[in-house]
Structure 1
Amino acid sequence: MDEKIDVVVVGGGPAGLNAALSAAQMGAEVLLLDAYPAPGGQYYRQPPQHLADHPTPHQRQGRQLWQEALASGVKIRSNVTVWYGDAEKTLIYHSNQGSIALHAKAIILACGTFERPVAFPGWTLPGVLMTGGAQTLLYHGVLPGRRVLLSGSGPLQLVVAKKLLEAGAEVVAVLEGSSRLLRRGMRHFAGVWGQWERLGEGLSSLATLMGRRVPYRFGWGIVAAHGEQQVERATIARYDEHWRPIPGSEEQVACDTICIGFGFVPFTTLGKLMGVKHIWSGDWNMEIPERDETMQTNVSGVFAVGDGAGLGGARLSILEGQIAGIAAAHQIGYGGTRAVAALQKLAPKVRRERAFQKMYTDLFAPGKGLFELAKEDTVICRCEGITLEQIRRARAMGASSISEVKAITRAGMGECQGRMCGLHINHILAQWTNKTPAEVGLNPARPPVFPLPIQALLLEQES
């Protein structure tokens, strides 16, 4: 089944919802595709049904935005998987009704992020989870553990630690990999000015930790997790400026849960499949799409917005979504001078948010030492069970690219398609081959972007 539409937005988070709303307000016919049961993404994540009567402020904001988009004529299809796209602005998505092809005049990619995986001894033990995963469990009223250690970087750790305390957990410590935050932050005073809501949330969380006497240690991080059947304790250490553990500083901490939060990685696979040019961000050690001031990529009519196009937070995502929605609608003939005026009004707001983004990157971008924590028997590719030693053997056989390691070991061939191990293998090879991560590169994009039922592929072949 094929459909034609003006603008298709992929992703229903802050960027996607605002892009869809803005394009619709300019007069375009808009369809928003989202993988979740209800739009909102991670930032506006809607509560489960039994908690729907007690939404958080963010959830109320997301619900209001969602309803406003519907009222403006945006069509929303939830619980769908977009698994193919190309430079001709064709998308294919799968739902319980089968696979449907869309032919759009413009496409806005708001695909979001996934949490940055870090492989260290014991990271596959039950009880080790990502900070965002812990936050999701808390949203659903589930306590991730009783005695929790948090290790990572950035203010999300403080927010989750506060929620854990409020839910009844004991937080044994919060470890912040960055050091000298205050001194470094003073260089970005202009970027922080006016960000009172963000500062207030962080200070409120910090006050809760101090009131409960939770240690908050700068320049410290995880080294290893230990336990027989699950996490029982952790080894932590002071990190140097490159985030390598300093010998002799190691300590043992008793815990049953370890929350790891070293930031996020943009999901760029769909854009790469469509021919979008990507550049390497040395600050965050990841790929991001190259865009112009309207968020359009090198592929005409294809826009990329939000954290899926470069980490900047919800406020920047909202602005980028609005710009891309207006620009996409204007490009295909809607909005006229009203669209031009709206774009001019948004430009200075984006510049202010980018100043904050620069500050955040300088303070919290993780160091390359994180990719050196794994030992020879540490599993790097969880889907296929491939260890660092097996990757080293592949290198000894001549493998110098991720694709060659994949061909020899199957690392990256599992259900996550390399999202959990790709960056780690990239940095391992860069170190072993004396290349930069950008020179090593990541796996090429191939359809399907996400795992699909075999039946869906058979139906697509028949059609």
Structure 2
Amino acid sequence: MSQSHDVIVIGAGPAGMASAATLAEGGARTLLVDEQPELGGQIYRAIERNRADPALARILGPDYLKGATLVDRLRGSATELSLGTLAWRIDDDLTVWTRTGGTVAATRAGAIIVATGAMERPVPTAGWTLPGVMTIGALQILLKSAQLIPSGRLVLAGSGPLFYLFARQCVAAGVKDLTLLDTAPTRQMWNALPLLPSAFGGEGWRYLTKGVKLLAALRLARVPIHRNVRDIAIEGDSRAEAIRFTAGGRAHRLPCDTVGLHEGVIPHQQMTRGLGVDHDFDGGQRYFRPRHDGSGRTSKPGIFVAGDAGGIIGAEASAQDGKIAALAVLHDLGRLTAEEHGRRGAEAERVRRAHLTARPFLDRLYQPPAAILDPPDVVTVCRCEVISAAAVRDIASKGVRGPNQAKAFLRCGMGPCQGRLCGPTVTEVIAQTAGLDAAEAGYYRIRSPLKPITVGEFATAAGATELTR
């Protein structure tokens, strides 16, 4: 199979769109692949449809509308788009295997930029598997893609910027019965305060001002907020009916119809893991991220990473990160001189850094709580195989030292999600029980297909190398 593209970009969020547009504008034959049928990723999901709806635009806010500029630039470039397409395998020779509408194809490139973004951190807590319990990100997807908002009594539990952003969006969308349970411990604010002065530098003051405005809007709307919340448990028989928690030294119980959970986001690591890229562990935010240099180069030749897939940096910084990776690829392809690469790369890096000044403050303020990293015994950790934290602790106490070994004993990580939802927690539980660092415990060994494909689709893969030349 001959090389059909100079570069394949995987992911159509801010990093992927900026990468692809920069590459195509630089003369590189560029293919952009995304599993969703529309451009935008999660942060700018359905932006092309929603930008023309004034009411929805008001609800989602001005930051969401910034995605329209990236989409317009990408549409105006020569980038080949392959939306609604799953990239389920990448070979060492940089062949990307995809599935579109049941059809398998294989496309080879000279370089690959992984811009798969972030996923919400799993929030294993009692009752989190009940119907009516969702992540806040999932609730926001319903708002952006279908203009749906929860009916009845809504409780949002967790912490972080998205926690308060979605709460304000709910108020703007007309949600009347809303209660917030902020799980960030008070001590984290004091721990983060030394980083606050530097957070105002660059563009940081804009992010901090936005946060203050979100809190003010919620206060004005008289949304009840319980702070320093712990010991969350969701009750119900066939669905969520109430939520119990401790706050202010007292036990509380609130009837509810829908619960939204959120404790920040972590990089999507399945694809970079499957590629064999080296990963490092972030001890502050408790997640693995692929090791890469300032241009997004990873330990695997020809593989670049950009945006939140390489470490959580936010939408604006991710767009610059995507541009930086694209400029490095263009230089490697001989389509950009060293002087031009240096000049444009330095400018993109300057803007990127300006959008990261508040990140250390936010990361320390919103560190993940111990209760979800090392949950109580009764809590289900692996939803696919219905495996409890107690079961993981039991095998760790008997000598299991990592998630891969745990598979042989419990099948955790072998369900349809392939470890996405249990991986971070299994790593932490084993590390805590065995007295290891999380980096020592490691993560699942990821193999293709990166997401399930049917046997029929897999059978067509044998001839797929003849399809794309």
TM over 0.5: yes
Pick the aligned partner of 1:228 from 233, 237, 240: 237
Deviates more, 1:143-152 or 1:430-439: 143-152
Instruction: Give the equivalent residue in structure 2 for 1:264.
Output: 265
Superposed displacement of residue 396, structure 1? 5.3
Instruction: Give the equivalent residue in structure 1 for 2:467.
Output: none
Superposed displacement of residue 352, structure 1? 3.0
CA RMSD, Structure 1 to Structure 2 (Å): 2.3
* Residue 144 (structure 1) aligned with residue 153 (structure 2): no
Are residues 2 and 238 of structure 1, via their aligned partners in 2, closer, same or farther at CA, if it must alter by over 3 Å? farther
Instruction: Give the equivalent residue in structure 1 for 2:216.
Output: 207
Partner Cα distance (1:375, 1:366) in 2:
19
Q: How does 1:165-314 map to 2 (within 5 A)?
A: 165-166=171-172, 167-180=174-187, 183=190, 184-193=192-201, 194-221=203-230, 223-238=232-247, 249-314=250-315
Partner Cα distance (1:63, 1:324) in 2:
21
Are residues 249 and 441 of structure 1, via their aligned partners in 2, closer, same or farther at CA, if it must alter by over 3 Å? farther
Partner Cα distance (1:396, 1:116) in 2:
25
Partner Cα distance (1:22, 1:144) in 2:
39
Are residues 182 and 442 of structure 1, via their aligned partners in 2, closer, same or farther at CA, if it must alter by over 3 Å? closer
Gaps of 5+ in 2: 465-469
Instruction: Give the equivalent residue in structure 2 for 1:354.
Output: 356
Deviates more, 1:195-204 or 1:77-86: 195-204
Q: Contact 1:154–1:176 (CA<8 Å) still a contact in 2?
A: no
Superposed displacement of residue 222, structure 1? 5.2
Partner Cα distance (1:205, 1:58) in 2:
13
Partner Cα distance (1:355, 1:418) in 2:
33
Are residues 298 and 191 of structure 1, via their aligned partners in 2, closer, same or farther at CA, if it must alter by over 3 Å? same
Instruction: Give the equivalent residue in structure 2 for 1:25.
Output: 25
Instruction: Give the equivalent residue in structure 1 for 2:159.
Output: 153
Are residues 306 and 358 of structure 1, via their aligned partners in 2, closer, same or farther at CA, if it must alter by over 3 Å? same
Superposed displacement of residue 59, structure 1? 5.2
Partner Cα distance (1:51, 1:294) in 2:
32
Superposed displacement of residue 97, structure 1? 5.8
Are residues 335 and 29 of structure 1, via their aligned partners in 2, closer, same or farther at CA, if it must alter by over 3 Å? same
Deviations 1:406-458 (A, max 9, x none): 11211111110011111111111111111111110110110001111221111
The amino acid of 1:170's aligned partner reads: D
Partner Cα distance (1:17, 1:288) in 2:
21
Partner Cα distance (1:372, 1:218) in 2:
21
Q: How does 1:56-455 map to 2 (within 5 A)?
A: 56=57, 57-58=62-63, 60-96=65-101, 98-139=103-144, 140-166=146-172, 167-180=174-187, 183=190, 184-193=192-201, 194-221=203-230, 223-238=232-247, 249-336=250-337, 337-376=339-378, 378-395=379-396, 398-455=399-456
Superposed displacement of residue 60, structure 1? 4.2
- TM-score, normalising length: structure 1: 0.91
Superposed displacement of residue 2, structure 1? 6.7
Q: What percent identity do the matched residue pairs reach? A: 29
Are residues 348 and 92 of structure 1, via their aligned partners in 2, closer, same or farther at CA, if it must alter by over 3 Å? same
Superposed displacement of residue 171, structure 1? 1.1
The amino acid of 2:123's aligned partner reads: V
Instruction: Give the equivalent residue in structure 1 for 2:41.
Output: 41
Q: Contact 1:2–1:101 (CA<8 Å) still a contact in 2?
A: no
The amino acid of 1:279's aligned partner reads: D
Q: Contact 2:35–2:86 (CA<8 Å) still a contact in 1?
A: yes
The amino acid of 2:182's aligned partner reads: L
Instruction: Give the equivalent residue in structure 2 for 1:245.
Output: none
Find the residue that maps to 1:355 and give its secondary structure: coil
The amino acid of 1:207's aligned partner reads: A
Find the residue that maps to 2:361 and give its secondary structure: helix
Q: How many residues align?
A: 454
